[in-house]
Structure 1
């Protein structure tokens, strides 16, 4: 065992089960935030009556992606998740490039959420308690809470997310029941789920918003070193997250069209925004329920903040442990097993960025949240596209129990479909921005993950010369429990040799 204190404890294994991972992945996409913010904005911007069906369509695409992703998760367990997947399938330099995209994307969405949190809590406290403080004061409160939880036990974090996620899902279900019980015109219509209404004007904008709503579902692999059964847990959690979010979002988006009438969904959403949801709850379920819903809207964002924070911290931990980034990032807490260095670095980075928006007097939602969440959506789809391609590379020539569907067909199809979604997202990126935004933003913001990819690739290539030992262990598999007859978790002899030497 190494005497290096950074590596004496490591991440705590066996603390998370399938349910825990589902809480992390679904909480990251924040169902109540998606309904109150994403769905209403999607209708308002696109004017597309059949937008609800887009969630089913994208869930099908993501399910195909999940086939190869799940198959590879039986062989590769690494807190760097997609970084390790890409490294083992497309090469070590490619893995470093993928890690740069992941850090750019997940940091962007996490930091952007501070703007949304601060703005909605500011409005709530002002209207309900006449407490008038700047948005960034409330953002700092969330920053402290997330920072403290980030260095505690991961199962404690999962418990917090479970409670918050459960409560917000109850509120969304109440809205759905209220909507179906009070349909516009007195009768329920299924026009909001008709394919003919989806594939019309505004389809590109709908896909852009819908894919952004799924961000976070893919993060289960980040916790693969901390689960009880790494060969099965990640796969199960991913399938559950895709199915749940796809069906739940589609049903709730359709329920909104029932409440307003399909032909009025765009106008009502454009006029009232999240007020469509909370106004309906106030009118039909009572003021108390509406107030609770507003509070849970706030905690929904907090849950997403915590989920993405944990993800970034583990990426930094994996990269520090393998000396791709400074080695101190591989430090974990001896008490909690949390990646304490990565957590603290992410906490500091978040503070620096969102305070920069404060000092430059930028709007917390229009600028901070919208800009960074749009860039994050591009980064996550790019990352999934690379990962799907990596699955094909990983299984090429490797014996094992996986079928051709898992090894080649589904990953290849997933790569093509995700590349198409990425193209639609890039072409329609301006739909994610507030009208009147500077025109250069539709090129600058999507360029953030692309620039990160290039920088990461250059650094990955450079590592082969400047840090050959670090280069040799890029994307290493750390979960010995993965190995069983018929599985080949670490086919790279050089990486095996390093791992064996390190344990000694």
Structure 2
């Protein structure tokens, strides 16, 4: 990597803490290909960024869907304690990850950090894993979205609609919004998120006010409740609920003060998710009684939350909850779509994908072609599942149990792998720059997080048959995780080919908009030396 690779256009502090690097080329150009390759800066501040990343976690979808499924399928009563433990792991991960965000501002976030720590070839592999992971996460949500919309139309308008009709409409609307200004997207996501959170707070209070037969029991926080064969799969589901906070660095180039805003948002997001989800999962158990929560979840399935709110808050509130459950799913789709578009943009800008993807539109400053790419992928995948769906309208098998569950767990597996690799990259990045002693505390946190994430990754791979409801040892339980391995292999081979055939492009992997400044500085004529008169 070039010796000046720790420069940023905003003059970020050096990794060894010795002060800012000089910025060459002036503030007018922010990418190595000029303004058409620049994400528009100052579009989003702390509140907008926080709302955007939290929207990806889809609080209502997690509470009403993921939590209930974890109780139902895995039988882990100690789910609230699980969120507390994983909150600590994610906070440890964020310590090093946030420090890295102060030195590297790149829409490629994960792969840019990995490239800066472990080299361009590994970074290329990570870029394809990130693209595959977030793309599958995003596409999978269309299954849940289509199924829920079809259900609402059936219940309230007595109209039977196949799930794929609203799913495909959702693809088109999301694609259109993805090409607009990020600050407009942040406002849409923010409004939907705030309504979701408000609704969850209302029924959480109702559950606490009218608990089940065991009262406000703290039994769910007893470590003994984590025993059982379903622990590994419950861990994976809980990790998936946290996915979103790590996306903050993707928007670094579009914030006003990336050195402080990105790190602040990550810690706020981790803290919010850990506390909010731990409380909500605990209060679900309180409402049914800890001794009854597994049986209740098994009886009602995803309808448990609505069954609990009906007697306490009335039918009107439950109907509103159904509506915003759907809008929350949409917010999550849009948030993941924006992330995929920016990864494609960063990869196009650095030569990992066709250069056309590395351009932004003049009107919005958004990566419109990256957004279009994800829209096309989504259309193809949803259409593929549609053509293989022979179930009657209203059956959740294809949209929920296959498209949503399969894609969601493949994506979560990829994100866990990226987080574990990024933890190692953070350590190597600072040690190579002589900052190991100065950053010892942060690097220790990164090492602990990396080890914990590897344990979770092991559980995820071993128990993938449970995660996708397949028979143990079935071909499907190996083919789906293999998608992430194939993406990594393609990226690594691509990186090696670039290193051999286009070393200049390979050297730019992970540099993003810094590469232009480095090239311009290298090409600038040396200042004339005045001659002394004899």
Q: Compute the displacement of 1:405 (Å).
A: 3.6
Query: Residues 352-367 of structure 1: matches in 2 within 5 Å?
Result: 352-361=380-389, 363-367=398-402
In structure 2, which of residues 508, 514, 518 is the aligned counterpart of residue 497 of structure 1? Answer: 518
Provide the C-alpha distance between the structure 2 equivalents of 1:272 and 1:96, rounded to a whole number of angstroms.
Answer: 45
* Conserved 8 A contact 1:9-1:337: no
Provide the C-alpha distance between the structure 1 equivalents of 2:32 and 2:50, rounded to a whole number of angstroms.
Answer: 34
In structure 2, which of residues 202, 206, 209 is the aligned counterpart of residue 178 of structure 1? Answer: 206
Q: 1:502 to 1:420 in 2, by over 3 A?
A: farther
* Conserved 8 A contact 1:71-1:406: no
In structure 2, what is the equivalent of residue 312 of structure 1? Answer: 340
Offset from partner CA, 1:13-38 (integer Å, 9 cap, x none): 01111222211211111110001110
Q: 1:463 to 1:502 in 2, by over 3 A?
A: farther
Q: 1:304 to 1:502 in 2, by over 3 A?
A: farther
In structure 1, what is the equivalent of residue 368 of structure 2? Answer: 340
In structure 2, which of residues 312, 333, 337 is the aligned counterpart of residue 284 of structure 1? Answer: 312
Provide the C-alpha distance between the structure 2 equivalents of 1:223 and 1:502, rounded to a whole number of angstroms.
Answer: 30
In structure 1, what is the equivalent of residue 513 of structure 2? Answer: 478
Q: Compute the displacement of 1:406 (Å).
A: 4.5
User: Cα RMSD between the aligned structures?
Assistant: 2.2
Q: Secondary structure at the match of 1:187?
A: coil
In structure 1, what is the equivalent of residue 250 of structure 2? Answer: 222
Offset from partner CA, 1:184-209 (integer Å, 9 cap, x none): 11621111122221244422221121
Matched, 1:64 2:92: yes
Q: Compute the displacement of 1:461 (Å).
A: 0.9
* Conserved 8 A contact 2:470-2:476: no
* Conserved 8 A contact 1:473-1:498: no
In structure 1, what is the equivalent of residue 121 of structure 2? Answer: 93
TM-score, length basis structure 1: 0.93
In structure 1, what is the equivalent of residue 18 of structure 2? Answer: none
* Conserved 8 A contact 1:121-1:298: yes
* Conserved 8 A contact 2:31-2:516: no
Provide the C-alpha distance between the structure 1 equivalents of 2:524 and 2:187, rounded to a whole number of angstroms.
Answer: 32
In structure 2, which of residues 349, 352, 355 is the aligned counterpart of residue 327 of structure 1? Answer: 355
Q: Secondary structure at the match of 2:425?
A: helix
Q: Compute the displacement of 1:469 (Å).
A: 2.2
Matched, 1:130 2:158: yes
Q: Compute the displacement of 1:497 (Å).
A: 3.3
Structure 1: gaps of 5 or more residues: 480-493
Provide the C-alpha distance between the structure 1 equivalents of 2:121 and 2:88, rounded to a whole number of angstroms.
Answer: 31
Matched, 1:238 2:273: no
In structure 2, which of residues 496, 511, 527 is the aligned counterpart of residue 461 of structure 1? Answer: 496
* Conserved 8 A contact 2:150-2:161: yes
TM-score, length basis structure 2: 0.88
Q: Compute the displacement of 1:213 (Å).
A: 1.3
Matched, 1:75 2:103: yes
Matched, 1:165 2:186: no
In structure 2, what is the equivalent of residue 394 of structure 1? Answer: 429
* Conserved 8 A contact 2:420-2:454: yes
In structure 1, which of residues 384, 393, 397 is the aligned counterpart of residue 419 of structure 2? Answer: 384
Provide the C-alpha distance between the structure 2 equivalents of 1:366 and 1:2, rounded to a whole number of angstroms.
Answer: 44
Offset from partner CA, 1:96-132 (integer Å, 9 cap, x none): 1001110110000100000110001101110111122
Q: Secondary structure at the match of 2:41?
A: coil
* Conserved 8 A contact 2:33-2:516: no
In structure 1, what is the equivalent of residue 26 of structure 2? Answer: none
